[in-house]
Chain A
Amino acid sequence: MTPFNYERASDISEAVGKPQFIAGGTNLLDLMKLGVETPDRITDITRLDMKNIEDHEGGLRIGALVSNSDLAADMRVRQTYPVLSRALLSGASGQLRNMATTGGNLLQRTRCYYFQDKSSPCNKREPGSGCSAIGGVTRLHAILGASEHCIATHPSDMAVAMQALDALVEVEGKDGSRRIALSDFYRLPEDRPDRETVLEYGELITAVVLPPAPTGKQTYRKVRDRASYAFALVSVAGIVSMQDGKIAQVALAFGGVAPRPWRDLEFEAALVGRAPTRETFDAATDILLRDASGQGGNDFKIPLLRRTLRAVLTELCEE
């Protein structure tokens, strides 16, 4: 960890435009200790007034500093957005969730082994240096949306559920505030894997806005290497409503498989209006996985995603 200057912002306008925010610190501090992140100034935002969960336009507005524990326990979330509550509770550990914040969770960095090891080339850490994961150990890595420059996955569970819920990210910048659909928030790596989101320098996430709860059943299913306290190998956030024996509406997002929470509207369209049969699921999944490719160590994610998705759809389509 290189020595750094520490500043604490006392209101939102003071924080905006400042370098390197720190919230729960559960991700940033670890990376600073490893020398992966080396900010020379950090701005503590934990005193800002962004800790409330408010009813908002028929949905919820979740302050960026609401902890993962508090958000998961909120009665409105548990009742109307159970997919989110489950996703949160499947992540990390109780201690971490107490510290982790909504904003920080969205912006946590990849768990790619090589990103975290300063002595390995990594285009995300040092653009142009190369990708060590390709040809290396790839158990954690992406089967969708990767590029020849980076195959890292986004590790968040919370963001996957929010993706299925069509969440919006509210940010405050030098020129005022704006709302970004979560589906537009993360960039694919292409040739600049270091640029992970559309946020501009100094833009502060102030809240996440959830639209009114969708109808239908919700679930979050996370598949991982141990029963708890492990990142997703594959996860599925699903919301399905049925009408007259047919699938009426779906929203499905996937974690552990791509550089960002993955959603595919074409795949969803292939489910809507159809009877919930194995053929329907498999045909739609073929669309979802049309460009999927493994790196060897993560090839298993393709059949695993297919199977997990089928089980989730079977469960959600049950009337």
Chain B
Amino acid sequence: MNLHHKMDEADRRNRLDDMAQGVLSTPMDRPEGPLKVSGTATYAHEAQPEGMLHGVFVRAPRLGRVVEKDDAAAREMAGVEAIISGDRLLRNPAQGTANEAPIQGATEVHYVGQPVALVVADTFETARAAAQSISFEIADADRAPTDPRNYDSPEDEQSSMGDLEKAMKEAAISIDQTYTTPSHNSAAMEPHASIAHWDGEKLTLRGSYQMLKYNRNELADALGVDPENVRIVAPYVGGGFGSKLGIAPEAVAAALAAKETGRPVGVAMTRQQVFESTMRRSETKQRIRLAADANGRLSGIGHDAWVSNLPDEDYFEPVTQATPFTYRGENRMIGTHVTRVSRTCAGSVRAPGEAVGVTCFEIAMDELANAAGIDPVELRRRNIAEQDPTGDQPYSSNKLDATLTSGAAAFGWDNSCPAPSSRREGEWLIGQGMASAVRVNTLMGSKARVTLDPDGTATVETDMTDIGTGTYAILTQLTAEMLGLKPSAVEVRLGDTDHPPGAGSGGSWGAASAGSSVFLACQSLRGHIAKALGTDEKDLTLKDGQAIADNRSVPLSEILDAPLESIGEIEPGDTGDDVRQATWGAYFSEVAVNAVTGETRVRRMHGTFAAGRILNPKTARSQCLGGMTFGIGMALTEELMHDPRDGRIVNRDFAEYHLPVNADVPQLTVELLEERDPWANPMQAKGIGELGICGAAAAILNGIYNATGVRVRDLPATLDKVLAGLDD
């Protein structure tokens, strides 16, 4: 009854279009929405069992090697049950899909704020007071510098085609500029939190995680136990944005503490700890070279990125990920350079790679458009490639032209190349800016079990997570559509490693991958029903609990005498390599820059996106709105500030890490273009979660240039940087 499908070739059946229930691709509200807004959805730290103890981390106050810990006062405090330190504590979270423990040990301090002990007490307040009373003697030790320098250039991260130097020399117009972006934090609303509970050898962890099948192995590895004995439960996740891809220090510490005390232990990080001891996006420096003819047609592209991470971390920010296939240009040099720093671990944050890479590239494209005197929309259109220029791969679909055209019309783009500083309203200089959006599309292996009951209800089970994106909604709709049920007859159970392992939420692959496994399970259930009716699955219509075929309509209850169960499994295959799969879009913004103070206000912003079949226009739109909002933050305000002397993050709270607030976010509009991408998966849907941020900031920075003539190349465009170029 199970159905496994490997994505080795395009699936042009468009089976979902044959379904009759009419709930998929409608803007259905999230089924769990009422629980969330009424505060009854239990997030990780809210499911507190009887007798739970509280753990609070002690942070390393400086870099070096811990030689002594003075915890005498803490041990004497009434209510303190244990102080956990030692070799198993995590230095930093695991990277996404690591599937094994990250570096462990609490003696070597590699960044300020590293958790070096956990105090466990009967109340959170006692644990915190005790944690604050512990002092450390930390000796100097050889550590990586705190500011990035001396980069390595790993050979397999450098690629070239043709002769870029020559192309630059011969170009009618060339751009050679360097851009920087600062460290960012995911800044999810729900801080990292875990509650661990042992029952003999069996560990149950209630956590806030994005990819449970990996997290389970990472946790087991960190603890030195069999993954079979580890269960992770995460039905609701209050945002992750990459920061909860891998198991984090609080989960391992909670498990160790629960083992030692024999009681459940909950560890919730404080906001300051989330900032300094989870993940940051690496700062980047990017040199971008563009060679073009007088018509703006690219003949050469250079994109070098310099990024950092802690010693012994494999991950680096994949800044240039989309550069090879976004535009034409036969001469290329693309490379990534990495250095080791004593700063908070660098990992995945909100669309790793494209968020910063496409942003800087799209600023460079704007510089080219200005230099060439070509409308920036037209410039991009002229540079759309026929196929992925780096190989022989065709695009599975390339909707850049369509999104540019449609977006420009929806926004009311002025294609007359208005000169910088040409529009003023009182103190405000007004400008327009645009940028392309592009993000790689990925399919991941995923499994789901769907059970159809004779009473006409269905249950979906997978360890897939819903991190606020709408997984519950789309899997409900998909199942209802395939099985001909009302959405209210479908129950989706997520976030439990006891369920079949799903793709997890990350890299925008969640909906398409987990959805495909549900699709396959439903397809096999349909096959079973069709067989019972003596017809072919293709000729079967399921609607409102009725099976319809050959002019007969039979209630499901008459066909099934027992629950029917199927596990669907999607496996990525050749379509990942045979074609270049990506999602596309375009952003347009109108900005106002204050001529006195340099403050920028985005007045309106529009995004048009194409990402295959849109499963739910409401949740898809919300993802795009969120991405564009993060784009506003990246453009104008967001920056983790590292102390120049020891690399510590100094702005560790929401008062000083400036995410956009409501007043920063104007009317945003989103347009989603319908398409089917047969290469992506059997649903012809692609990932959309991250697309909304991949270049968004550039639309604003390009708008600032158009408003003022000031080109900000070091993000964010805080007022001091704009001010420097304004008339006195």
For B651, what are the chain A residues with a Cβ–Cβ distance below 8 Å?
113, 137
A223 touching B664 in the complex, CB below 8 Å, given contacts A1-B129, A2-B129, A111-B656: no
* A interface list, Cβ under 8 A from B: 1-3, 33-35, 111, 113-114, 117-120, 132, 135-137, 139-140, 223-231, 233, 300, 303-304, 307-308, 310-311
A304, B643: Cβ atoms closer than 8 Å? no
Q: Which of B62, B599, B655, B661 contacts A111 (CB 8 A)?
A: B655
For B599, what are the chain A residues with a Cβ–Cβ distance below 8 Å?
223-224, 227
Q: Is the interface of B mostly helix, strand, loop or mixed?
A: loop
Q: Which of B272, B641, B648 has the most CB of A within 10 A?
A: B648
CA gap between A225 and B598 in the complex, in Å: 10
A227 touching B59 in the complex, CB below 8 Å, given contacts A1-B129, A2-B129: no
In the complex, whether B419 has a CB less than 8 A from a CB of chain A is: no
Q: Which of A34, A113, A139, A226 contacts B663 (CB 8 A)?
A: A226
Q: Which of B62, B272, B596 contacts A307 (CB 8 A)?
A: B596
In the complex, whether B589 has a CB less than 8 A from a CB of chain A is: no
CA gap between A225 and B723 in the complex, in Å: 13
For A223, what are the chain B residues with a Cβ–Cβ distance below 8 Å?
597, 599, 719
Q: Which of B59, B641, B658, B728 contacts A230 (CB 8 A)?
A: B658
A226 touching B596 in the complex, CB below 8 Å, given contacts A119-B112, A136-B645, A139-B641: no
For A111, what are the chain B residues with a Cβ–Cβ distance below 8 Å?
655-656
Q: Which of A2, A118, A225, A311 has the most CB of B within 10 A?
A: A225
Given contacts A113-B651, A139-B641, could you give 4 more A-B pairs where the C-beta distance is less than 8 Å? A33-B128, A119-B62, A137-B641, A311-B597
A228 touching B662 in the complex, CB below 8 Å, given contacts A1-B125, A304-B597: yes
B596, A225: Cβ atoms closer than 8 Å? no
CA gap between A229 and B658 in the complex, in Å: 9
B656, A226: Cβ atoms closer than 8 Å? no
* B interface list, Cβ under 8 A from A: 59, 61-62, 112, 125-126, 128-129, 132-133, 270, 272, 427, 596-599, 601, 636-637, 641-645, 648, 650-652, 655-656, 658, 660-664, 718-720, 723-724, 728
Considering only CB atoms, which chain B residue lies closest to A233 in the complex? Answer: B719
CA gap between A118 and B601 in the complex, in Å: 35
A300 touching B664 in the complex, CB below 8 Å, given contacts A114-B650, A135-B644: no
B597, A2: Cβ atoms closer than 8 Å? no
B661, A229: Cβ atoms closer than 8 Å? yes
CB A234 to nearest CB in B, in angstroms, measures 8
A117, B597: Cβ atoms closer than 8 Å? no
**Could you name 12 residue pairs across A and B whose Cβ atoms are closer than 8 Å?**
A1-B125, A2-B133, A35-B132, A113-B650, A118-B61, A132-B643, A136-B645, A137-B651, A226-B664, A229-B661, A300-B724, A311-B427
CB B119 to nearest CB in A, in angstroms, measures 13
Considering only CB atoms, which chain A residue lies closest to B666 in the complex? Answer: A227
For A233, what are the chain B residues with a Cβ–Cβ distance below 8 Å?
719
CA gap between A139 and B728 in the complex, in Å: 22
CA gap between A307 and B726 in the complex, in Å: 11
Q: Which of B596, B641, B650, B718 contacts A117 (CB 8 A)?
A: B650
B723, A226: Cβ atoms closer than 8 Å? no
A303, B723: Cβ atoms closer than 8 Å? yes
A227 touching B597 in the complex, CB below 8 Å, given contacts A303-B723, A311-B427: no
For B596, what are the chain A residues with a Cβ–Cβ distance below 8 Å?
307-308, 310-311
CA gap between A139 and B716 in the complex, in Å: 14
For A307, what are the chain B residues with a Cβ–Cβ distance below 8 Å?
596-597, 723, 728
CA gap between A229 and B665 in the complex, in Å: 13
CB A88 to nearest CB in B, in angstroms, measures 16
A3, B601: Cβ atoms closer than 8 Å? no
Considering only CB atoms, which chain A residue lies closest to B60 in the complex? Answer: A119
A137 touching B128 in the complex, CB below 8 Å, given contacts A225-B637, A311-B596: no
For B637, what are the chain A residues with a Cβ–Cβ distance below 8 Å?
225-226
A113, B661: Cβ atoms closer than 8 Å? no
Top 10 A-B residue pairs of the complex, sorted by shortest distance between their CB atoms: A119-B61, A300-B720, A227-B663, A228-B663, A113-B650, A35-B132, A311-B596, A223-B597, A227-B664, A229-B661
CB A236 to nearest CB in B, in angstroms, measures 11
CA gap between A218 and B648 in the complex, in Å: 42
B597, A136: Cβ atoms closer than 8 Å? no
For A226, what are the chain B residues with a Cβ–Cβ distance below 8 Å?
636-637, 658, 660-661, 663-664
For B662, what are the chain A residues with a Cβ–Cβ distance below 8 Å?
228
CA gap between A139 and B720 in the complex, in Å: 10
For B133, what are the chain A residues with a Cβ–Cβ distance below 8 Å?
2
CB A247 to nearest CB in B, in angstroms, measures 20
A2, B132: Cβ atoms closer than 8 Å? yes
For A34, what are the chain B residues with a Cβ–Cβ distance below 8 Å?
272
Q: Which of A114, A132, A225 contacts B719 (CB 8 A)?
A: A225
Considering only CB atoms, which chain B residue lies closest to A224 in the complex? Answer: B599
Considering only CB atoms, which chain A residue lies closest to B650 in the complex? Answer: A113
CB A122 to nearest CB in B, in angstroms, measures 12
CB B497 to nearest CB in A, in angstroms, measures 34
For B652, what are the chain A residues with a Cβ–Cβ distance below 8 Å?
117
A225 touching B597 in the complex, CB below 8 Å, given contacts A35-B132, A136-B643, A136-B645: no
For B718, what are the chain A residues with a Cβ–Cβ distance below 8 Å?
225
B59, A119: Cβ atoms closer than 8 Å? yes
For B128, what are the chain A residues with a Cβ–Cβ distance below 8 Å?
1, 33
Q: Which of A2, A35, A113, A308 contacts B656 (CB 8 A)?
A: A113
CA gap between A139 and B642 in the complex, in Å: 12
For B650, what are the chain A residues with a Cβ–Cβ distance below 8 Å?
113-114, 117, 136-137
For A136, what are the chain B residues with a Cβ–Cβ distance below 8 Å?
643-645, 650
For A228, what are the chain B residues with a Cβ–Cβ distance below 8 Å?
661-664
For A229, what are the chain B residues with a Cβ–Cβ distance below 8 Å?
655, 661, 663
CA gap between A223 and B595 in the complex, in Å: 12
Considering only CB atoms, which chain A residue lies closest to B130 in the complex? Answer: A2
Considering only CB atoms, which chain A residue lies closest to B272 in the complex? Answer: A34
B597, A308: Cβ atoms closer than 8 Å? yes
For B643, what are the chain A residues with a Cβ–Cβ distance below 8 Å?
132, 136-137
B723, A300: Cβ atoms closer than 8 Å? yes
Q: Which of A35, A114, A227, A310 contacts B601 (CB 8 A)?
A: A227
CA gap between A192 and B306 in the complex, in Å: 44
CB B437 to nearest CB in A, in angstroms, measures 24
CA gap between A34 and B132 in the complex, in Å: 9
A3, B658: Cβ atoms closer than 8 Å? no
CA gap between A39 and B658 in the complex, in Å: 30
For B648, what are the chain A residues with a Cβ–Cβ distance below 8 Å?
117, 120
For B660, what are the chain A residues with a Cβ–Cβ distance below 8 Å?
226
Considering only CB atoms, which chain A residue lies closest to B662 in the complex? Answer: A228
For B664, what are the chain A residues with a Cβ–Cβ distance below 8 Å?
226-228
CA gap between A233 and B723 in the complex, in Å: 13
CA gap between A304 and B722 in the complex, in Å: 11
Considering only CB atoms, which chain A residue lies closest to B716 in the complex? Answer: A225
For B272, what are the chain A residues with a Cβ–Cβ distance below 8 Å?
34
CA gap between A201 and B719 in the complex, in Å: 41
B597, A135: Cβ atoms closer than 8 Å? no
CA gap between A100 and B459 in the complex, in Å: 50
CA gap between A301 and B662 in the complex, in Å: 26
CA gap between A91 and B454 in the complex, in Å: 60
CA gap between A119 and B59 in the complex, in Å: 9
CA gap between A308 and B664 in the complex, in Å: 21
CA gap between A171 and B61 in the complex, in Å: 39
CB A242 to nearest CB in B, in angstroms, measures 21
Considering only CB atoms, which chain B residue lies closest to A298 in the complex? Answer: B720
CB B58 to nearest CB in A, in angstroms, measures 11
For A3, what are the chain B residues with a Cβ–Cβ distance below 8 Å?
125-126, 129
CA gap between A157 and B418 in the complex, in Å: 39
For A303, what are the chain B residues with a Cβ–Cβ distance below 8 Å?
723, 728
For A139, what are the chain B residues with a Cβ–Cβ distance below 8 Å?
641
For A310, what are the chain B residues with a Cβ–Cβ distance below 8 Å?
596
CB A140 to nearest CB in B, in angstroms, measures 8
Q: Which of A2, A304, A311 contacts B723 (CB 8 A)?
A: A304
Considering only CB atoms, which chain B residue lies closest to A228 in the complex? Answer: B663
CB B702 to nearest CB in A, in angstroms, measures 20
For B129, what are the chain A residues with a Cβ–Cβ distance below 8 Å?
1-3
CA gap between A265 and B14 in the complex, in Å: 77
